[in-house]
Each structure stands twice: as structure tokens, then as C-alpha cells.
Amino acid sequence: MLSGLKRLLIGRPLKSNELCEQKLNKTKALAILSSDALSSVAYGPEQILLVLMTVGAAAFWYSIPIGVGVLILLLALILSYRQVIYAYPHGGGAYVVSKSNLGENAGLIAGGSLLVDYILTVAVSISAGTDAITSAFPVLHPYHVLISCLLVVFITVLNLRGITESASILAYPVYLFVLALFILIGTGLYQIASGAVPDHLHAPVGTPVAGITLFLLLRAFASGSSALTGVEAISNAIPNFREPAPRNASRTLAAMGVLLALLFAGIVYLGYYYGIVPSEKETVVSQIASTAFGRGILYYFVQATTAMILVLAANTGYSAFPLLAVNLAKDKYISRMFTVRGDRLGYSNGIISLAILSIILIIVFEGRTEQLIPLYAVGVFIPFTLAQTGMMVKWLREKPGGWTARFIVNLIGAVITFGVLIVFFVTKFAQVWSVLVFLPLIVIMFHRIKKHYDAVGEQLRITNCERAPRAHGNIVIVPVAGITRVVENSLNYAKSLQPEQLIAVYVAFEREQEKQFEEKWNKWQPDVRLVTLHSQYRSIVQPLTKFIDTIEHKANELNYRVTVVIPQFIPKKRWHNALHNQSSLLIRARLLYRKDIIVTTVPFHLKK
């Protein structure tokens, strides 16, 4: 039944050689990989105004120069990541770049922060999307966390089905969102140009404002740069592109940069011109749309597409997290199971882990995004900085033709992103300090896992000079619970192994029982030695383990192996298991984990 449900949700398994068909063309890639970056427009401009509002509405004109600063930062990032794409066509982005140029620890810091960041991407985007939905339908508000979790499950299923299919579903909302915002910005600009908007709604640019400080402006700039989260997604996902992958990826990146710049600039400008004041109850985009259109069909179109793209932005995490996990797992820094492809050729373990972790975040933070956004932004700017620095080192080392120009591009990128990072830590320390605690812990975990894998590899390696010692014989122990067919069955098997010694063990709770059983046994199986153990505390496992200890000690001296043959009762129906005590499972688990003993399970299938 479970496997039927899986089939229904995820589709038939795909053969390994069906992989090529799952690659993305540019149009779909733009939709899938840029929804995160584009959706940031829905909250980025608002973050700037929220900081400026602490001084007063007169300060809102600063959003224009701050917006220009964010656009410059965007340009620097796009240019630097364009170089990353060509230099590292196999993807991996910041992790690979930092690792190969700045060393292991830098790579692990970048990888660790990206890993956490993709989880935050999902949590933040889904929560913000749910906010948009529940704002439109206030009756759903009490079910906020539940809706968020269902959306995560929905996107998870889409991703488990495989990339291309999800792209077809996910591409439309992204383009509709872009269309909706273009209509909104176009209408707004036309209204302004035609003089339909009174110009006393905003203070002119350059108006002196009391109380404005550099600290505050930097804080506003840092907040605004949260609109740039997600621009690195394309450079991490190059292997998902059709060939020639680097060129396709680079063009997609450029297209995304242009779209993001236009939308961001438009929203910031309209917000300034309309004199929008951020409010808890209505988002800035919603206020702009209702000013431009009134609460008609176009307004709802903008709100609906905004909600959808925010939800879909989470999908970027689903494209990027599993690929990064594969890179880390191949280098043995996280569990090997992240390299396994699932039925539909996606890396299911990565997808499922991401889903679980983001659902936990959503539940713990009760879907409140404002606490998560600064953390999220810091998590993005750490790998930004490391990647740019790594590229600088690369150019310095390799010095290819025209390397100085490339070096300067990455130098500017590195300086700006590092600057933003410093600004974050200085102006929002209360919200981002935990990065300084968790990131080192994650890096330590990476190292410990790698150390374990290395140790295991060494222990498993077969060197020609030494062969594993072979045992001289076998002692077989059969725990018996009575005189039944199950016992007969496993005794027969034990005898067929022709062991040097065969011992049946019976655990009795009462003295009488013990004697009775010995008598019966001697009549039934006189040729098999029976040992009865008395259990004062009504436990079967403990006296058995103790007995096996002594046998093992003896066996070691003789260089014999010890095999325990456990009869296992297999009822016809699953629910019948509840009617039988599961001693055989307990015994098996205890013996295998504690001792160097071979455990053989002889099933006895009940026929009715």
C-alpha cells in the first residue's frame, strides 16, 4: 500500500539512462533558478523603508540612493558569478571555488553556510508566501503553520517527481509575476508622467533629515541587500543545464540580473514617489498596487502572483541543496547517502532532508519571517565573499590571458560583499550572532565525519600482505523456548552446519519449569546438549548474553567462531506480530552490537 502511494505521488521509477532527458533549457532554468532572487523584490524594498521609518517619513527619499547602492552590488555579483560559471562548469559554486582556492576550511565554511541557507530559503519563502495568502484570505490566518507545512510537502513531492516535470508547473507563475510587476510599474510610471499622481506625497531627494546617521543608512542598505539572496543559485546548478551548459547558464544569469534590477528599481521608485509607509497589515507591494489599480482584478493578479512566486522561491533551495549535498558527500564531509539517486533520478535524500529541516524551522519559528531574514542574508553573504576571494586567488595563481580585468571584477565583488557582511554584523548583531556559534559547529561536524570515513576506509582496505585469520571451527548455540516445530526447524539447520559443538539453551523463570523441561528435552533430543539458565529477574536476554560471554571466551582460546541460531516466528499477517513477544529481535540486536558473534535467523513461516 505504501509503495502504491509512493508510485501515485512520485510517478514510475526512471531508469538511470533516462537522466539526460531531465536537463533544463534556458527558459525553464530562468524560471526555476531565479524565483528566489526575483521574489526577494516582494520584501527587499520594504526592508529598506522599515529601517528608514525609525527616523521618520521624511527620510524615505534615502531609499533612492540606497536602492542605487543595492543595484551596484547586484551588478558586481552578476559579473563575478559570470566568471565563476565559466571557471567551474561542474557547479558547486562557492563551496568548490573556496575549497580549491582558499583551502579546505574556507570551502567548508562556504558549504556549511550555503547548506543552512537553502533550508532558510525554503522556510522564509514559504512563510512569506503563506503570509500573502493569509493576508488575502484572513479566515485562513489561524492555520498559518499548517498551510506552510503543506506547501513544503507539496513542493517536496514535485521535486521527488523529478526536475523537468516540476519546471513545467513552476515556470508559469514566475513569468506571470514578472508580467504583473511590469504592468504595475508601467502603469505607475505612466500615471506619474501624465501628472495623475500629486507630487506632495514624498519629500524631494536631498531634503535634510534630522537624526539620520551613517549607522542607520548602512543598516538600511544591509536590509535592502536581502533582495539579492538567491543570485548565486544559477552558478551552483550548472550541471542541470542543457549543453553547452556554461554558456546557457551565463545567459540565464544575465537575464535574471536584468529582470531583478528592473523590478527592484521600479518598486523602490514607486514606493518613494507614492510616499508609501510600511505597515504591519499590508505589504509595500500591495500598497503600491492598490494605489495604482485600486482594489480591482489587476490588484489581485499582483497579489496572487506574488504569493505564488514566494512559495516557488522555495524551489530554488530544492534545486541547490541536493546538488551541494552531493558535492559535500563525495568529499566525505556528510553522509554518503546524499549521493544516492531516487526512483525519479533526483537526489531524494537531499530533497527529503531539506523538507524535514525547513518544516522544523517553520514550526519552531511559527512562520515568523522577520526573525529569519537577517540570518538568511548573512548566510548568503559569507559564501559570496569567500567565492569572490577564491576567484581572486585563482586568477593570481593561474594568470590566464586578460586576467587583470577578471581579477579586478572579483576584487570589487569581494570588497563589496565583505563590506556588506561587516555592516550586517555591526548593525544587526542581535539577530545574526548565532551564525558565529553554529557555523563552527557545522565545520567541526564535517571534519569528524570525514575522519570517520577515512578511518573506515583504512580498516576495510585489503592489503596483499595480510589475510584475515580463518577460524578453526564453529560453536553453534540455539536458544530454545519450548519443544515445538519452530525449535525443531532451527535445530535441524544448526545440525546441518556440522559444528564442533552444538548447545541448546533454555531460560527458565521457575525451578520446577527448569527440571520438567530438561526431562522432556532428554527424551526428545538426547543427542543435543541442553543448558538451562535460571532467570531471577524474568529477563531472557540478560542470562543468555552472560552465557554466550563465557562460551565466547572459550571459543577465542580455541580460535573457534560462535554462531547463534535464532528461530524466528513469522506470522501470516502483520498484526499478528503484536501477539508474539519479539525476543528474537531483541536477542539479535543485543548480540550483534555488543559481540563478535554471528547471528543466523531461521524463519518459521506460519501458514494460517
Which of 365, 493, 517, 547 lies at the binding interface for a second copy (CB under 8 A)?
493
Q: Which three cell numbers stand for residue 411?
A: 576584487
Binding mask 471-490 for a second copy (x = CB under 8 A): x--x-------xxxxx-xx-
Give the span between the Cα atoms of 61 and 51, in whole angstroms: 12
- Contact status: 580 vs a second copy (CB under 8 A): yes
Tell me the pairing of strands 598-605 and 501-508. unpaired
Which of 137, 461, 527, 557 lies at the binding interface for a second copy (CB under 8 A)?
461
Nearer to a second copy, 324 or 329 (CB): 329
Give the span between the Cα atoms of 250 and 19, in whole angstroms: 23
Minimum Å gap between C-beta 465 and a second copy is 13
Minimum Å gap between C-beta 3 and a second copy is 11
Give the span between the Cα atoms of 555 and 343, in whole angstroms: 46
Residue 135 three-state SS:
helix
Q: Which three cell numbers stand for residue 189?
A: 510610471
Asked if 98 and 110 count as a contact pair (C-beta separation under 8 A), the reply is: yes
Q: Which three cell numbers stand for residue 576?
A: 499478528
- Contact status: 465 vs a second copy (CB under 8 A): no
Peptide bond into 322 cis (omega under 30): no
Residue 306 three-state SS:
helix
Nearer to a second copy, 257 or 543 (CB): 543
Which of 397, 468, 512, 526 lies at the binding interface for a second copy (CB under 8 A)?
468
Residue 424's nearest CA partner among 218, 116, 229, 228 is 218
Neighbour-count burial of 598, counting CB atoms closer than 10 A to its CB (0-12 exposed, 13-18 middle, 19+ buried): middle
- Contact status: 517 vs a second copy (CB under 8 A): no
- Contact status: 459 vs a second copy (CB under 8 A): yes
DSSP structure class, residue 584: H
Asked if 81 and 253 count as a contact pair (C-beta separation under 8 A), the reply is: yes
Which of 456, 522, 531, 556 lies at the binding interface for a second copy (CB under 8 A)?
456
Minimum Å gap between C-beta 468 and a second copy is 5
Residues 6+ apart with CB under 8 A from 574: none
Tell me which stretch binds a second copy (CB under 8 A): 90-98, 214-222, 225-233, 562-570. Answer: 562-570
Which of 15, 200, 281, 397 lies at the binding interface for a second copy (CB under 8 A)?
15
Tell me which stretch binds a second copy (CB under 8 A): 117-125, 142-150, 280-288, 577-585. Answer: 577-585
- Contact status: 601 vs a second copy (CB under 8 A): yes
Neighbour-count burial of 289, counting CB atoms closer than 10 A to its CB (0-12 exposed, 13-18 middle, 19+ buried): buried
Nearer to a second copy, 181 or 540 (CB): 540
Asked if 424 and 131 count as a contact pair (C-beta separation under 8 A), the reply is: no
Nearer to a second copy, 366 or 398 (CB): 366
- Contact status: 498 vs a second copy (CB under 8 A): yes
Residue 145's nearest CA partner among 314, 346, 365 is 365
Binding mask 521-540 for a second copy (x = CB under 8 A): ---x-----------xxx--
Which of 449, 528, 533, 541 lies at the binding interface for a second copy (CB under 8 A)?
449
Which of 3, 194, 213, 496 lies at the binding interface for a second copy (CB under 8 A)?
496
Nearer to a second copy, 145 or 598 (CB): 598
Residue 422's nearest CA partner among 202, 275, 219 is 219
The single residue listed with the C-alpha cell 600482505 is 465
Binding mask 303-342 for a second copy (x = CB under 8 A): --------------------------------xxx--xxx
- Contact status: 441 vs a second copy (CB under 8 A): no
- Contact status: 571 vs a second copy (CB under 8 A): yes
Tell me the pairing of strands 560-570 and 598-605. parallel
Contact residues for a second copy, defined by CB under 8 A: 13-17, 335-337, 340-343, 449, 452-453, 455-456, 459-462, 467-468, 470-471, 474, 482-486, 488-489, 492-493, 496-498, 509-510, 524, 536-538, 561, 563, 568, 570-571, 576, 578-581, 588, 592-593, 595-603, 605-608
